[in-house]
Amino acid sequence: MEKKRILIAGAAGFLGSHLCDRFIKEGYHVIGMDNLLTGNLKNIEHLFPLPDFEYYHHDVTKFVHVPGKLDYILHFASPASPIDYLKMPIQTLKVGSLGTHNLLGLAKEKKARILVASTSEVYGDPNVHPQPEEYWGNVNPVGPRGVYDEAKRFLESITMAYHNFHGVETRIIRIFNTYGPRMRLNDGRALPAFMSQALTGQDITVFGDGSQTRSFCYVGDLVEGIYRLLLSDYHLPVNIGNPEEITLLQFAEEIIKLTGTDQKITFHPLPKDDPKQRKPDITKARNLLGWEPKVNREEGLKVTYEYFKQALNK
């Protein structure tokens, strides 16, 4: 049987690289694409010798051409942490709009199924808790986070337009906080920030009073959810994340305990429009995909801690 061919945009990033691994393991021919704006080739260099992996250095905001047939496309190209999208606001908007448009055009041309990576950030600073897919969100379009939030909201809109108008087979995943090996140390999000601060002997920085909540999903669980959604027949958005909620103050204390360090926790002003609560309603994922997270936080953090320790020593 001829192998299925899948294009993974954002292949050298944290999530993209784990997706490359998964689809290689499942017997696909994987075409990885990345412009390395925030990705790192080290995440996928172990795949380069494989006959079923090829890499294109390309920016999806420019016209995308891939020779031969394509069965599936995964759009995971985008800066994804506040540090990145505040530093690269226009690139973030372009990859969510032009990049999505180009990849949807490619999916239409190749008659491929495309899954696009949206985010819990489409819910903004939510007034509904936990957040079900039917909630329309509370987003400030002109605030500093608007460049990411609105790029992803547009991504969902144009994806639905291609589905409804052109009949393209589309899937939309809304990803909640995810962690695991290959996260960047300077990513700026809570987990890598807390871990690198603890490992380098700095005080742990908590914004606000630390009462804001997050829900952390291990990357292996997320990849399983993405795989199931891609192969499902459901085209509307699906939340994938871990519904176990924790305050950032509790989380900082967990990291200090895990790393065995004795850092102090220091408090800094809350950034503008920072969400106060974040917890996915995963009823749809459970019912439609038979999916729920399996890796508990204690177990996942241990693996991630080992990765960060090694990364800091390199």
Residue range 186-197, pLDDT digits in tens: 888 889 999 999
- CA 166 distance to own-chain centroid: 27
Residue 148: active-site member: yes
Residue 23 included in any domain: yes
Please give the pLDDT value at position 275: 80
Question: How far is the C-alpha of 240 from the C-alpha of 25, rounded, in Å?
Answer: 22
Residue 171 included in any domain: yes
CATH code of the domain covering residue 166: 3.40.50.720
Work out the percent of the chain whose per-residue pLDDT is above 90.
86
Residue 238 included in any domain: yes
Residue 76 included in any domain: yes
What pLDDT band is residue 277 in, cutting at 50, 70 and 90?
confident
Dihedral angle at the C-alpha atoms of 261, 276, 148, 198, nearest 10 degrees?
Answer: 0
What pLDDT band is residue 270 in, cutting at 50, 70 and 90?
confident
* Three-state SS sequence of the chain: CCCCEEEEECCCCHHHHHHHHHHHHCCCEEEEEECCCCCCHHHCHHHCCCCCEEEEECCCCCCCCCCCCCCEEEECCCCCCHHHHHHCHHHHHHHHHHHHHHHHHHHHHHCCEEEEEEEHHHHECCCCCCECCCCCCECCCCCCCHHHHHHHHHHHHHHHHHHHHHCCCEEEEEECCEECCCCCCCCCCHHHHHHHHHHCCCCEEEECCCCCEEECEEHHHHHHHHHHHHCCCCCCCEEECCCCEEEHHHHHHHHHHHHCCCCCEEEECCCCCCCCCCCECCHHHHHHHCCCCCCCHHHHHHHHHHHHHHHHHC
What pLDDT band is residue 239 in, cutting at 50, 70 and 90?
very high
Overall number of domains in the chain: 1
Residue 170: HSE in the Cβ half-sphere, 13 Å Cα cutoff:
29
Question: How far is the C-alpha of 245 from the C-alpha of 214, rounded, in Å?
Answer: 6
Please give the pLDDT value at position 279: 94
Across 133-172, b (16+ Cβ under 10 Å) vs e yields: bebebebeeeeebbbbbbbbbebbebbeebbeeeebbbbb
What pLDDT band is residue 314 in, cutting at 50, 70 and 90?
confident
Its domain, for residue 107, covers: 5-183+218-242+279-295
Residue 308 included in any domain: no
Residue range 9-63, pLDDT digits in tens: 999 999 999 999 999 999 999 999 999 999 999 999 999 999 999 999 999 999 9
Residue range 186-230, pLDDT digits in tens: 888 889 999 999 988 899 999 889 999 999 999 999 999 999 999
Residue range 80-136, pLDDT digits in tens: 988 899 899 999 999 999 999 999 999 999 999 999 999 999 999 999 999 999 999
Which entry of 148, 179, 218, 227 is annotated as an active-site residue?
148
Residue 174 phi, psi dihedral angles, 5° rounding: -105, 110
- Checking DSSP bridges between strand 213-215 and strand 245-247, what pairing results, if any? antiparallel
Residue 305 included in any domain: no
Residue 306 structure tokens: 């080992």
The rounded mean pLDDT for the chain is 95
Residues 6+ apart with CB under 8 A from 129: 277, 279
Question: How far is the C-alpha of 111 from the C-alpha of 166, rounded, in Å?
Answer: 10
Residue 205 included in any domain: no
Residue 167 included in any domain: yes
Question: How far is the C-alpha of 38 from the C-alpha of 184, rounded, in Å?
Answer: 9
